Structure 1
Amino acid sequence: MKRELIVAVDGPSGSGKSTLSRLLAAALNYINIDTGAMYRSVGLAAHRAGVHPEDDQALAELCQSLTIEFARSGAGERVLLNGEDVSEAIRTPAMSMMASRVSACSAVREAMGELQKSMGEKGGVVLEGRDIGTVVFPNAEVKFFLLASAAERGRRRFEELRAKGLQVDLQQTIAEVEERDAADSNRQHAPLVQADDALAIDTTSMTIEQVLQEMLRIVNSRRLQNCEPQGQGE
């Protein structure tokens, strides 16, 4: 039996990557690696340290001092930055934009990319981000690219923030999603693009369960192929 698969889930902000990757990993009994949380953690650390998000040298030095880990608890998956639980602190609109800005730094992407590779190289993982299938694991056995309209992604983000008790404006939230799209797609290093061999799924009019079942069908089919003896049927 071959090793378990590496599953890449890429797409823009608000496309459902985080929720679906978490559910997919749980259904497969795989490890879920939220790479977006890693960049948000770097952004939070930079903000706290007073490091400008465009100061590449300072960001490179900052990354060398950071430890980013994922842990499970009764409250779900948690993100630890140098041992501190920052799961809530990194989920603000400000940290979303900071993540986009620091991720434009090649040194940050290199440091996070190496960490992601070390976490996922043995397989049995679902990694979600924006360049998993193109840069981090271009040879991943299964690649998804999740899509949704900017209006729908903004609405989802708006509802998520309201559920947390934050006062937000729908049109402003949609505008922030579009701004993040532009920043991610136009950055010089590892821009947001769909891998040639990725399966695109437009989640705009689909429920989470519908998308999850489609993803599970595809991954399980690939797992069966991965376990077939070499040369069988030849």
Structure 2
Amino acid sequence: MTKKITIAIDGFSSTGKSTIAKQLAKKLGYIYVDTGAMYRAVTLYAMQQNYISDTHFNVDDLITDLNNISLSFSFNESLGFAEMYLNNTNIEKTIRTIEVSRLVSKVAAISEVRRKLVSEQQEMGKNKGIVMDGRDIGTVVFPDAELKLFMTASADKRATRRYKELLDRGDKVNFEEILHNVQERDRIDSTREDSPLLEAEDAIEFDNSDMGLKEQFDRIMSLVNTRLGL
């Protein structure tokens, strides 16, 4: 039987974690799980129920309602990756908006939300052969992962990437707003009490500020092959 490993990819927002995770999963035939999409889905639900907005956050109402939130991924062959579903509705595009981005770190800081999603994530990866990206995968979800990466890049480079991505989608966005969102998410993710964004002691830090996608993939794939004993 071919050896399978768990690959945990953590790091700051807009560092391309999902892009490299999708590439690795496709190359290896592994399951890919975008944990950020799961937190975004809960955020969207909270917005739909008016539990959260730019001016208020009814935390207790969201916690009470968590059992009514069903999350799942469904593989889209034409796209080549699994899309996020909330209560059986495809929300893949809706959760990528700047409105959700502004609020997701606040929702992700709630301990009850994290417990629910971490439990689901650990269940998804119990048989290995998985690539998972997020903020606490190597430290909390899979502390025994065979390969842990910590992605980083300058805030300006990350904001520029996010800005171009949203423009390409046809969204009307402002660069300064994107930059502020990146910096604010860094602050909230790094200072929250429950599972703050931390680099695992045995993680490999990967700064891709000035790196193309092919070079990044080739370098990370070589690390994967080493872990696989190839």
TM-score bracket relative to the smaller structure? over 0.9
2 CA distance for matches of 1:133 and 1:87?
Answer: 25
Which residue matches 1:229? none
Q: Are 2:223 and 1:218 aligned?
A: yes
Matching of residues 116-155 of structure 1 within 5 Å = 116-155=121-160
Matching of residues 33-72 of structure 1 within 5 Å = 33-52=33-52, 54-72=57-75
Worse-matched range after superposition: 112-121 or 56-65:
56-65
1:86 partner amino acid = I
Which residue matches 2:184? 179
2 CA distance for matches of 1:38 and 1:61?
Answer: 18
2:66 partner amino acid = C
Regions of 4+ moved over 6 Å: none
1:205 partner amino acid = D
Q: 49, 60, 79: which is aligned to 1:75?
A: 79
Gaps of 5+ in 1: 226-234
1:195 partner amino acid = A
1 CA distance for matches of 2:68 and 2:229?
Answer: 42
1:25 partner amino acid = A
2 CA distance for matches of 1:16 and 1:22?
Answer: 10
Instruction: Flag the structure with larger Rg.
Output: 1
**TM-score using structure 1 length:** 0.92
2 CA distance for matches of 1:140 and 1:59?
Answer: 31
Structure 1 position 199, deviation (Å): 0.2
Which residue matches 2:200? 195
**TM-score using structure 2 length:** 0.93
Q: Is the 8 A contact 2:101 2:181 kept in 1?
A: no
Considering only aligned residues, what root-mean-square deviation do their CA atoms show, in Å?
1.5
Gaps of 5+ in 2: none
Q: Is the 8 A contact 1:44 1:98 kept in 2?
A: no
Percent identity, please.
Answer: 38
Number of corresponding residues: 225
2:64 partner amino acid = E
2 CA distance for matches of 1:141 and 1:40?
Answer: 27
Q: Are 2:107 and 1:107 aligned?
A: no
Q: Is the 8 A contact 1:7 1:127 kept in 2?
A: yes
